Structure 1
Amino acid sequence: MRKLSLPQMEALLAIAKYGSFHAAARRMHVTQPTISMRVRELETALGTRLFARAGRGVTLTPSGMLAVRYAERSLGLLEELEARLGNGTPLNGTLRLGSSETIAMTSLPEIVRQLEGRYPGLQIDITVANSFTLHDLLATGKLDICLLTHPGASRVVRLEPIALAQVGWLGSERRLRAGTTFSPSRLAGQSILSVPPPSPLHEMLVEWCLKENAPPPALNTCSSLSIIAGLVRAGIAISLLPICVLSNEIEQGSVICYPQRRGFEPLRICAAFPRMAAGNDLDSVARIAADVLTKHPSFAPISPR
């Protein structure tokens, strides 16, 4: 594939904006033959005409209109790169931040507040999804950093554990009385609600049943952790959830965390980065998130090995 150049794209956009080669050359402080040469090179590289004559000026062809959209996006990304790395400020421009619902429901507002306070030029584009979805978005370059539940080993994503979140069976007196020891046999006849697979919580539920020598039950599923928490709060369902998402209700007694014979390992909350990403600015996001989480009463710090 022939390489496209920045001067070629700048010439394309200038002609599209000012309506003629002459006007574009004057605005860019170059000669008209220079502008014409850049456009010819770009048309040769793309294999299509970008402009058509219109009186003393030119108009964009359909291919030219498409090329302008791509050129605008390309130059916009380069300007963002310069803003983030070229002025000595570690974080500037747009940060594409992914968050699991566990973090979004408990600590994300404080994390964003601290990021904006430390980096006033930063724009934050937040995506909330389950941890497996966030991992895939990160691996394909659609996000810069994620705060998620450990999704397992990955060759393309670097995972840095930053906190622990306890997990338990949560419900209300309307479903099972307080003090009831929870076991797979207690699932029978209950409305059990779970996030669908693939998800760390669903995997934990299935593994718990297998360790108790019981088949996984039939489950109602919901893709939103916040909706599940609301249904548990309303006494409509029992669910395996991070305790932090309903910690206030547990403290008030409106939601019960049922004891069980075999407990769960806590969820490992991680900051996740593309393996090839440079550190520095993204590491500072992870440090802010870790500090917020470890100060939250419902999370525990990662013990040093």
Structure 2
Amino acid sequence: MTFDQIRTFLWVARLGGFRKAAERLHLSQPAVSTRISNLEQELRVPLFERGPGELVLTKHGTLLLSYAEQMLFVEEEIKQRVANPSEAEGLFRVGAAETIAQAWLPEFLKAFSQQYPRVNVDLTVDISLNLRAAVLERKLDLAFLMGPVSEYSVENVALPPFDLHWYRSTANPQTDLSEIPIISYSSKTRPYRELMSELSRRVGPKLRVYASASLSASLKMIAAGIAVGPYPRALATEFLEAGKIVEFDPGFRPQPLAFTASYLSEPRSFLVENSAEIARDVALFWDQQLLT
């Protein structure tokens, strides 16, 4: 019996299938099947009930799972307290909402690379709805999204929020929200829903809203005088300094954007936990720099 067999068994049990475990472990499906078959032969007991649909643990498989989780926990403890982080290897899958990608994500990746120089990074930039699903499906190890994720299995590390400010083009002084379109985040996001609710009450049937998942494209549309909209000041700095847009007050300001670094708590990974702490520290420093 090898540690690789135990680790493979744990992921097959957690994900409910050989294919998903193969994807998680970056192995072929036959390799995963062989490891489980060899483990069952050595233990002389079946670990899974095989049939149509998701695999189900046998009584012996359930017992082994508890030991496997303990072994993986000890492995993580050794990595955290004994091993040199600079020698860690593997693939780290991180996702980020575009607000984060446009803000402090480069600084995070730099800090992460300094601590884990031999770990490869697979980066995904997407809306928070998709990032949340990817975390729960174990397709991402860590996600910076509009949170928190309300699932018992997810740990959420609070990150500094982004205040929203209204912007218009310097070339177009129109700020009457019943006359000029408002551009906002993707229609599948919480900021969009909250903004629509408030604007519907304040503006009424004359309301026109453009939804865009691209913050850079949205700010360019504002600079071109096509629309107005509320965005984080930190992301509008380039356009403000270039004199292309200016702030204005329509009489209300949307709620700040709340973000979290979210990840599954089990099986425990100190690399992921440390990365969430790195992200929090980087974000706090970046936020403080904006205030000075």
State the TM bucket, normalised to the shorter chain: 0.5 to 0.7
Number of residue pairs matched by the alignment: 229
SS of the aligned residue for 1:292 comes to helix
Deviation at 1:279, TM superposition (A): 5.1
Question: Do the aligned residues in 1 keep the contact of 2:148 with 2:259 (CA within 8 Å)?
Answer: no
Amino acid at match of 1:271: A
Question: Do the aligned residues in 2 keep the contact of 1:191 with 1:220 (CA within 8 Å)?
Answer: yes
Give the structure 1 partner of residue 272 of structure 2: 282
Question: Do the aligned residues in 1 keep the contact of 2:94 with 2:143 (CA within 8 Å)?
Answer: yes
Q: Distance in 2 between matches of 1:206 and 1:152?
A: 22
Amino acid at match of 1:88: A
Q: Distance in 2 between matches of 1:156 and 1:215?
A: 42
Give the structure 1 partner of residue 231 of structure 2: 241
After superposition, the Cα gap between the structure-2 partners of 1:191 and 1:210, relative to the gap in structure 1 and judged at 3 Å, is closer
Q: Distance in 1 between matches of 2:171 and 2:273?
A: 45
Amino acid at match of 1:234: A
SS of the aligned residue for 1:187 comes to coil
Deviation at 1:196, TM superposition (A): 2.9
Q: What is the percentage of aligned positions where both structures have the same residue?
A: 23
Q: Which runs of 5+ in 2 are unaligned?
A: 9-36, 47-74
From 156, 159, 165, the equivalent of 2:156 is 159
From 85, 109, 117, the equivalent of 1:112 is 109
- 2:117 is aligned with 1:127: no
Q: Distance in 1 between matches of 2:151 and 2:195?
A: 22
After superposition, the Cα gap between the structure-2 partners of 1:160 and 1:193, relative to the gap in structure 1 and judged at 3 Å, is same
Amino acid at match of 1:142: K
- 2:258 is aligned with 1:268: yes
Q: Which runs of 5+ in 1 are unaligned?
A: 10-36, 46-80, 181-185
Amino acid at match of 1:236: I
- 2:99 is aligned with 1:102: yes
Amino acid at match of 1:230: K
Deviation at 1:175, TM superposition (A): 3.1
Larger Rg computed on CA atoms: 1
SS of the aligned residue for 1:296 comes to helix
Deviation at 1:251, TM superposition (A): 4.3
Question: Do the aligned residues in 2 keep the contact of 1:191 with 1:238 (CA within 8 Å)?
Answer: yes
From 136, 140, 153, the equivalent of 1:139 is 136
- 2:90 is aligned with 1:93: yes
Q: Distance in 2 between matches of 1:291 and 1:166?
A: 19
Counting helix residues as a fraction of each chain, which structure ranks higher? 2
Q: Distance in 2 between matches of 1:277 and 1:251?
A: 46
Deviation at 1:126, TM superposition (A): 0.2
Amino acid at match of 1:173: T
Structure 1 vs Structure 2 CA RMSD: 3.8
Deviation at 1:85, TM superposition (A): 5.1
After superposition, the Cα gap between the structure-2 partners of 1:131 and 1:256, relative to the gap in structure 1 and judged at 3 Å, is same
